[in-house]
A and B are shown apart, each in its own frame.
Chain A
Amino acid sequence: MTASLEFFPVGSGDMTLIRLESGKTILIDINIRQKADQESEKDFPDVADMLKKRLDRDTDGRLYVDVFMLSHPDQDHISGLSRNFHLGAPSQWKEPEEGKPEKIMIREMWSSPLTFRRADKVDGSLTAEAEAWKKEAKRRVKLFRDGDKTSEEDGNYIRILGEDVHHEKTEGIKRLLVNTGHTLDEICRKKDSSFSAILLSPKTVSAEEAAELPGKNNSSIVMQFSLAAGEDNKIAAKFLTGGDAETDIWKRIWERNKEILENLEYHILQTPHHCSLGALSYDRYNDLNGKPGKGEDCEIDSEAYNALSQAEDNAFIIGSMDVPERENGRGLARRKYTKIAEDVGGQMLCTMDDSKDKPLKINITESGPTRSDAKKLVLPVPEKVNKGTSERGYA
């Protein structure tokens, strides 16, 4: 069996499905445009349909993801949430009405509270979808805080990712917390040996630091997944993903992890902020509001670059975007990522270029990640050896 990563062709935005060796699914962000309602979106493939075909149904016939991790609540990471996912008590799930999409159960949410706390102060109000996520997260936390037994039920569980040292709201929910630098190896309350994930960000140590890191982007969840393949659950690939985290965050991540580089190594990197130059540099490539852009002279921040360049041999670097024009920030960033990949014999791929009509899939096999998806049926099996008893337990 194999694990896999699938990057959906959502244009500019993120939507990634991890299928673990154990069969568990982790969905990171969604950008499901409502095609029917928006004439301008008709060129985008129906990623909701693609996602639903990749999910299993529980014994009540409901499609489900084991985990939905929202990196941060920007619209291009959460679009389509309330239309395609069930929010509320699991018992309230209903068959879809005629013409409406079927709703997916989220067995367990992974959410960062920092994202929402800062969003109110720095970025203005949250979108309706972000508010819906927040409301659902609060519902699940309240169940747990109240000692409600159903908080352990599929569809009610939540893990809180990220440390907020100057915030007191985490009292009484320690079991749900995953602090930055810590490893998460549970899904739906059970240890899953086919993966582990180190939380690299968000982390704030002071109110001052919070003020220095404005915007929802910088409260993105940054995580390095170790993914196993094969019967022995041996780690076969590492996947680094960081939402829309920008240079400041990557600098801090480097500072915290430069002595433990294995935390930053990857076989697959999802380029932050859809290959935005903002993850590698403070400079702007193009002119903006009368300020001249620096073009090719943009200075690449060495620490952020270091944090994002710990590629293993034959690594894949995935940009969830169209192939950018050469003469813009994304084009420059793409060239930087391409160089990182090529230096280790790997590839830089763009979802909308290399796999426009279906998710860009990386299979994680025992020998590492591969794009090969050839299927060949091997059926002969060794004959089962009788253990030497003929007494049936039940006649």
Chain B
Amino acid sequence: MPDTQFGAGSAFDLYRGRLSNWLRANMENVCPLLPRTIGLYNDKDKGIITGWEVKPPGFDFSLRILLSDAFPFAHIKISYVGECRYLQWPHVEENGFLCLPISGWRPIEDLVLSIRERIGLALQLLDDCQSGEYVKSESAKEFLSYWGRSAPTGAKALSLVDLSCSAPRLVSAIKTDKCWLVADDKDAIDNWLSNQGKMPPSESLQAIFACIESPPALPLPGNTKQFLSQIVDQCPQINSFIGQLSIFEPTFLFLAVQCNGSTGLIGAKLSPIQENGFQKPKRNGREPHCSARRMRRAWACFSKLTLFRVERADSEWVHGRGLDPTHQILANKRVVILGCGSLGSQVAARLSQAGVGHITLIDPENLTPSNIGRHSLGMESVQRSKATQLASTLSAKFPHGSFHGIPMAYQAVLRENPEIFKDADLFVSCIAETDQDQSWDAWQRSEGIFASTVYGWLGTQGSTGHALALTNDGPGLSCFFDPDGFLRNPDTDFQGDTRIKVEPGCGTEFQPYGPLAAGQVELLVTRLCLDILTKKVFPPHHRIYACSTNDLTELGGQWTNQHGHHRPDGYEGSFEYIPPVSSCGDCYRCRAQ
């Protein structure tokens, strides 16, 4: 097949040709790059596929003009040809590749302006890098990148440390098969690993966590002495911890630095001191007494430094890169989900993604093959408990969280383990059986359980979806459903046909809606849960999703007059609305009052 992406006549080829002309008319010593040179830049991020080496007139060095496979829509890339400045100058990567600003003229807009601007930026950067002050200030802005690139292969760690506490402290570090793990204590590491079904190692290494004021800048420390004086001395309390630790054991330091409104972590490993006249530990395990000052000097002189790339894997980072203002609230919330079917399982998955820290899942049923099309679990979980399998899956995905599955009906849990419900912040019922839900509502009121319940369900054929939040006070679920389970104020009318299907041979009853209809309602319910947990709204509160008129017609239904009060004039698309919530005055509860 003709190469239509890059071949003659392609946008790539057209602009490449014009660029080649411009370079040959305006640059000196223009020479197309050999494939092996292109290969230096052809990693997955850059995707460089062709280029030239050129010498800007009036300069005594050359540049490489590099085109990625997204040219001419992507910027022209440039690398510097000369003495290696990687990890010496900011914004200069391996093989002299220059990280230039992403703003500015694109080749597709104006090729000449684009190449002139790019070369101008490159020359400006190279000129700026002659200034030590520039090197320091610019590299500090991207300290994580430079620190990580300076770390040897394999010197990487995942941090579970709670960064909301900035006090310097001793923490735990252990080596796993992939990398090092660091957390506030060994229990946190053990939990994190066991949530993923892994066996925790038995021993952890000594490690120190602290926050420092200024991010490290180029040139980065090349030995322990420089590391201690340049980095550690920003937080003098670290020295007291260093003094407490054995110099005959490898020691980790994990340092947090505030930058761009969030927190980054760097790491270093100090090798144990084994020679140079220092006494090794005596057989009884006691070490010779040294002053903290002497210990520090020993570290500085005789310990080998290894920089470590540290990636945050703590909850705050996983859920919002440290920038979600609601994270701390959600991480401490406890949510109990009743019913882990097609809707409940997806709501559970969304809430865990949003950072809700503790979720209990209750469902007595096992997963069947016919569930999988709409469920968040897959075939590997068939014939297993929906609740425990879901908890297990979410634990593996979010090992910093707490997910607990109970393969029982909630009534049984109420009998056997009612304290589970006592400290919940929110209940979510996706049971989709009105008698069960009404029974729950009645129990919640009778017990005076304060936490709200969000009821989620889909209307006939999935044409509507509901998220209804109620408390133990005010309107009850019976204000919305009649005793037969029909809505008192329906949006749709299917001429008396409930459209409920039954699996053959007295099988399960079900509504034949698809995953997309369930997806709309999953979001509706999850949003309401999060809004209640973060106190953006308060129960009673009702949100309704309505499909488009076309979709409803195709399903064989029509809108009711009641729905017409909410649908905007002339609008036939899908939408959400918030109806007023009030007691019906007609249900058993209202009549009793």
Contact: B120 with A381, CB < 8 Å? Answer: yes
From A19, A189, A384, give the contact of B8 (CB < 8 A). A189
Q: Which residues of B contact A55 (CB under 8 A)?
A: 32
From B6, B24, B30, B116, give the contact of A58 (CB < 8 A). B6
Query: A358 in the interface, Cβ–Cβ < 8 Å?
Result: no
From B1, B21, B49, give the contact of A23 (CB < 8 A). B21
From A23, A150, A377, give the contact of B19 (CB < 8 A). A23
Contact: A381 with B113, CB < 8 Å? Answer: yes
Q: Which residues of B contact A57 (CB under 8 A)?
A: 32-35, 50
Q: Per-residue 0/1 for A168-211: is the Cβ within 8 Å of any B Cβ (1 yes, 0 no)?
A: 00000000000000000001111000000000000000000000
Shortest distance between the CB of B104 and any CB in chain A (Å)? 6
Contact: B103 with A384, CB < 8 Å? Answer: yes
Considering the complex, which residues of chain A in the window 373-391 have a beta carbon less than 8 Å from any beta carbon of chain B?
Answer: 375-382, 384
A241 to B340, CA, bound (A): 81
Query: B443 in the interface, Cβ–Cβ < 8 Å?
Result: no
Please name the residue on chain B nearest to A379 by beta carbon.
B120
Q: Which residues of B contact A21 (CB under 8 A)?
A: 18, 21
Query: B179 in the interface, Cβ–Cβ < 8 Å?
Result: no
Please name the residue on chain A nearest to B123 by beta carbon.
A379
Please name the residue on chain B nearest to A60 by beta carbon.
B35
Considering the complex, which residues of chain B in the window 10-53 have a beta carbon less than 8 Å from any beta carbon of chain A?
Answer: 12, 14, 16-22, 24-28, 30-35, 38, 49-50, 52
Contact: B32 with A56, CB < 8 Å? Answer: yes
From A19, A59, A378, give the contact of B116 (CB < 8 A). A378
Query: A357 in the interface, Cβ–Cβ < 8 Å?
Result: no
Total B residues in contact with A, Cβ cutoff 8 Å: 46
A107 to B104, CA, bound (A): 34
Shortest distance between the CB of A18 and any CB in chain B (Å)? 12
Query: A166 in the interface, Cβ–Cβ < 8 Å?
Result: no
Query: B272 in the interface, Cβ–Cβ < 8 Å?
Result: no
Q: Which residues of B contact A19 (CB under 8 A)?
A: 21, 24
A24 to B13, CA, bound (A): 9
Contact: A189 with B26, CB < 8 Å? Answer: no
From B25, B28, B56, B58, give the contact of A2 (CB < 8 A). B25
Contact: B18 with A56, CB < 8 Å? Answer: no
A188 to B17, CA, bound (A): 13
Please name the residue on chain A nearest to B12 by beta carbon.
A59
Query: A296 in the interface, Cβ–Cβ < 8 Å?
Result: no
Q: Per-residue 0/1 for B46-84: is the Cβ within 8 Å of any A Cβ (1 yes, 0 no)?
A: 000110100011100000000001000000000000000
A23 to B12, CA, bound (A): 12
Shortest distance between the CB of B20 and any CB in chain A (Å)? 5
Please name the residue on chain A nearest to B56 by beta carbon.
A377
Query: A61 in the interface, Cβ–Cβ < 8 Å?
Result: yes
With known contacts A153-B3, A377-B57, A56–B8 Cβ distance under 8 A: no
From A22, A152, A382, give the contact of B2 (CB < 8 A). A152
A54 to B32, CA, bound (A): 8
A214 to B119, CA, bound (A): 56
Please name the residue on chain B nearest to A365 by beta carbon.
B25
Query: B117 in the interface, Cβ–Cβ < 8 Å?
Result: yes
With known contacts A23-B17, A380-B120, A375–B28 Cβ distance under 8 A: yes
Shortest distance between the CB of B17 and any CB in chain A (Å)? 2
Shortest distance between the CB of B586 and any CB in chain A (Å)? 47
A20 to B13, CA, bound (A): 14
A188 to B26, CA, bound (A): 27
Query: B9 in the interface, Cβ–Cβ < 8 Å?
Result: yes
Please name the residue on chain A nearest to B31 by beta carbon.
A53
Contact: B26 with A375, CB < 8 Å? Answer: yes
For the complex with contacts A2-B25, A153-B1, A378-B26, 11 further pairs of A-B residues with Cβ separation under 8 Å are: A1-B22, A19-B21, A23-B17, A56-B50, A61-B34, A66-B8, A154-B3, A189-B9, A375-B27, A376-B26, A384-B103
